[in-house]
């Protein structure tokens, strides 16, 4: 049976939902294992779908990783676009945005590593394509709403690109450190309560850091 037939005959699942299930399962494996190394065989066992389907839909591992990144990043870029368009003071936009970044890293703790892996391993055009689709819009958004706050004097004068780097790094680190939490502090409570505490403290820290006194 060809992979295509297998896709059609896979229980009640049509092609689109089989593809979606593979992306969803791969995302869960990366989240649980705090890793971006996934094997086609584990993906096949966990999703209950034939591993030929993975090859059929995504070609190779990079194809699967790109599909996961697309699913996760498209929403982020859209949300930032909507935020920019809102009639809201820059400090409220920034506060809202930092909270959203922290929630995103909680949900997809692998997303930075995944982006870096693809940018590093794809041919230059592929790397540029990912930068253009997902990273440039975010960097430009910082230029706009941080720039607005600097112009009106509500923010201190600083470089929005360097600020972007500090904010996303601070937001990301905590959640990639799940195992640090476990082995350093003997804690397994890496849950939504912890996320909320981290969000609150980090948003306050960054806002106090950028607001003009």
Query: Distance between terminal CA atoms of the chain?
Result: 69
User: Residue 45 or residue 166: which is nearer to its own copies going by CB?
Assistant: 166
Query: Are 95 and 46 spatial neighbours (Cβ–Cβ below 8 Å)?
Result: no
The answer to whether 56 and 7 are in contact (CB under 8 A) is yes
Minimum separation from the CB atom of position 12 to its own copies (A): 37
Shortest approach of its own copies to residue 43 CB, angstroms?
A: 19
Minimal distance, residue 208 CB to its own copies, in Å: 4
Q: How far apart are CA 92 and CA 109, in angstroms?
A: 25
**Of 78 and 161, which has the nearer Cβ to its own copies?**
161
Q: Which is nearer to its own copies, 55 or 178 (CB)?
A: 178
In the complex, the smallest distance separating the C-beta of residue 122 from its own copies, rounded to whole angstroms, is 10
Residues contacting 10, CB < 8 A, separation 6+ = 18, 49, 50, 53
Instruction: Considering the complex, state which of residue 6 and residue 196 has its C-beta at the smaller distance from its own copies.
Output: 196
Query: Judged by CB, which is closer to its own copies: 58, or 134?
Result: 134
CA 141, CA 117: separation in Å to the nearest integer? 23
Binding site for its own copies (CB under 8 A): 33-35, 112, 116, 119-120, 127-128, 130-131, 135-136, 139, 156, 158-159, 161-163, 165-174, 176-177, 179-180, 183-185, 197-198, 201-202, 204-210, 213
How many CB atoms are closer than 10 A to CB 104? 20
- Minimum CB separation of residue 168 from its own copies in Å reads 6
Note whether 109 and 34 are within 8 A (CB): yes
């Amino acid at each position: 049976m060809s992979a295509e037939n297998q896709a059609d005959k896979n229980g009640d699942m049509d092609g689109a939902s089989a593809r979606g299930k593979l992306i969803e399962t791969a995302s869960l494996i990366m989240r649980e294992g705090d890793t971006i190394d996934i094997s086609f065989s584990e993906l096949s066992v966990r999703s209950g779908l034939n591993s030929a389907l993975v090859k059929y839909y995504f070609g190779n591992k990079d194809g699967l990783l790109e599909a996961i990144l697309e699913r996760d990043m498209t929403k982020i870029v859209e949300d930032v676009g909507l935020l920019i368009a809102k009639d809201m003071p820059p400090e409220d936009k920034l506060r809202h945005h930092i909270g959203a970044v922290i929630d995103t890293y909680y949900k997809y703790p692998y997303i930075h590593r995944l982006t870096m892996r693809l940018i590093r391993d794809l041919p230059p055009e592929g790397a540029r394509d990912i930068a253009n689709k997902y990273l440039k819009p975010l960097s430009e958004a910082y230029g706009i709403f941080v720039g607005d706050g600097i112009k009106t004097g509500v923010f201190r004068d600083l470089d929005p690109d360097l600020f972007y780097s500090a904010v996303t790094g601070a937001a990301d680190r905590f959640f990639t450190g799940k195992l640090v939490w476990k082995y350093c502090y003997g804690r397994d409570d890496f849950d939504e309560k912890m996320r909320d505490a981290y969000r609150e403290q980090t948003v306050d820290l960054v806002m106090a850091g950028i607001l003009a006194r």
